[in-house]
């Protein structure tokens, strides 16, 4: 049963090209931040790096001012799951695991992505959890591509692929209450993309859809609390969490991972649209 009619914005290939440009700006900001992560760096310094990369590309940070959010990135350390506000007081320490989440608007179109990075030497089980979150994200993207190409796929095939990947990997908590989303001329559009659930439900996966896929998992319980700042989401049991995200679009001939520099080619092979090498060749 459908609670409300979803308002899904389908994009033309030309609009998806614009989203690709925005996605590459986000990818560049994340790459610069990844390179800067080390013990002693503050999350405010990472925020400044992201903002300068975005503005130098002629884009605008999408998080800043979003419902009053005060920064360019969310930097969620250890038991912080998502939406933690960067601060000059928050110094990264050896062994921390940090999710860096970043969004940009270029020419009216949004990109949104996140990476989870270890600071210095990190407990292997935490790095493994971050890898599981990534595997789950790519499984969700692959499910979307296959579902679109077969013309039989539905939205929750993505949710199911994410959940199944995480459950098969170990006893991780899958955070509920947050998830992926449509993306386009706004950062958050219909539909909401759950990170768990039965396949075969929801709208059909069709060319023109653009979605952000963002699993959030924990070393312990999936339960979370929002702190008094109105933003920071932490695990209730204090366990460490990981969060990764890509924005992707479905084209007639395959998926385009808009915030991945290679468009998703390394992880997805032939499921990626033929537009990807064409564009890479043109840019080289």
How far, in Å, CA of 203 to CA of 154, rounded?
6
Nearer to Co ion by C-beta: 41 or 174? 174
- Which partner from the list Co ion, ligand MF3, none does 172 bind, CB cut-off 5 to 8 Å by kind? none
H or E segment at 144? helix 124-150
Nearer to Co ion by C-beta: 112 or 135? 112
Nearer to ligand MF3 by C-beta: 68 or 124? 68
Nearer to ligand MF3 by C-beta: 47 or 214? 214
Nearer to Co ion by C-beta: 112 or 163? 112
Residues that bind Co ion (CB under 5 A): 112, 212
Q: How far is the CB of 204 from ligand MF3 (least distance, A)?
A: 23
Q: How far is the CB of 153 from ligand MF3 (least distance, A)?
A: 22
Q: How far is the CB of 71 from ligand MF3 (least distance, A)?
A: 7
Residue with tokens 């009216």: 108
Q: How far is the CB of 150 from ligand MF3 (least distance, A)?
A: 27
Phi-psi region of 263 (alpha: psi -120 to 50; beta: other; left: phi over 0): left
- Which partner from the list ligand MF3, Co ion, none does 69 bind, CB cut-off 5 to 8 Å by kind? ligand MF3
Burial class (CB in 10 A: 0-12, 13-18, 19+), 150: exposed
Q: How far is the CB of 94 from ligand MF3 (least distance, A)?
A: 27
Phi-psi region of 213 (alpha: psi -120 to 50; beta: other; left: phi over 0): beta
Residue 145 DSSP symbol? H
- Pick one of 11, 18, 20, 83: the residue that binds ligand MF3 (CB under 6 A): 83
Residues numbered 187-216 forming contacts with ligand MF3, rule: CB under 6 A:
212, 214
CB 89 within 8 A of CB 42: yes
Residues numbered 44-73 forming contacts with ligand MF3, rule: CB under 6 A:
63, 66-67, 69
Nearer to Co ion by C-beta: 41 or 114? 114
Q: Residues 185, 174, 260, 142: is their CA dihedral positive or negative?
A: negative
How far, in Å, CA of 265 to CA of 169, rounded?
23
Residue 51 structure tokens: 């903002």
Binding-site string for ligand MF3 from residue 212 to residue 251, where x marks contact by CB under 6 A and - marks none: x-x-------------------------------------
Residues numbered 103-142 forming contacts with ligand MF3, rule: CB under 6 A:
103, 112
Nearer to ligand MF3 by C-beta: 9 or 69? 69
H or E segment at 193? strand 189-193
Residue 65 backbone dihedrals phi, psi, to 5 degrees? 85, -5
Residue with tokens 């990264």: 92
CB 219 within 8 A of CB 173: yes
Question: How far lies 40's CA from each of 57, 96, 181, 215, in Å?
Answer: 28, 11, 34, 28
Q: How far is the CB of 231 from ligand MF3 (least distance, A)?
A: 7
Binding site for ligand MF3 (CB under 6 A): 63, 66-67, 69, 74, 83, 101, 103, 112, 212, 214
């Amino acid at each position: 049963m459908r609670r409300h009619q979803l308002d899904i914005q389908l994009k033309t290939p030309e609009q998806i090209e614009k989203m690709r440009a925005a996605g590459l700006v986000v990818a560049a900001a994340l790459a610069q931040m990844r390179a800067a992560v080390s013990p002693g760096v503050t999350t405010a310094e990472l925020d400044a790096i992201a903002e300068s990369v975005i503005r130098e590309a002629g884009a605008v940070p999408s998080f800043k001012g979003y419902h009053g959010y005060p920064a360019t990135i969310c930097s969620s350390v250890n038991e912080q799951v998502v939406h933690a506000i960067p601060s000059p007081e928050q110094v990264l320490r050896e062994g921390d695991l940090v999710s860096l989440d970043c969004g940009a608007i270029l020419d009216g179109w949004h990109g949104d992505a996140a990476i989870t990075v270890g600071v210095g030497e990190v407990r292997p089980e935490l790095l493994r959890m971050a890898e599981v979150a990534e595997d789950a994200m790519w499984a969700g993207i692959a499910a979307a591509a296959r579902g679109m190409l077969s013309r039989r796929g539905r939205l929750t095939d993505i949710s199911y692929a994410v959940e199944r990947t995480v459950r098969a990997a170990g006893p991780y908590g899958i955070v509920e209450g947050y998830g992926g989303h449509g993306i386009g001329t706004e950062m958050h559009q219909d539909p909401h993309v759950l990170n768990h659930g039965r396949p075969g439900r929801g709208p059909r996966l069709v060319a023109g859809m653009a979605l952000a896929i963002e699993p959030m998992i924990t070393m312990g319980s999936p339960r979370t609390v929002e702190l008094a700042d109105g933003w920071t989401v932490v695990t209730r049991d204090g366990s460490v969490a990981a969060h990764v995200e890509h924005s992707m679009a479905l084209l007639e001939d395959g998926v385009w991972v808009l915030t991945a520099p290679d468009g998703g080619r390394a992880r997805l092979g032939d499921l990626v649209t033929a537009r990807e090498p064409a564009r890479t060749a043109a840019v080289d």
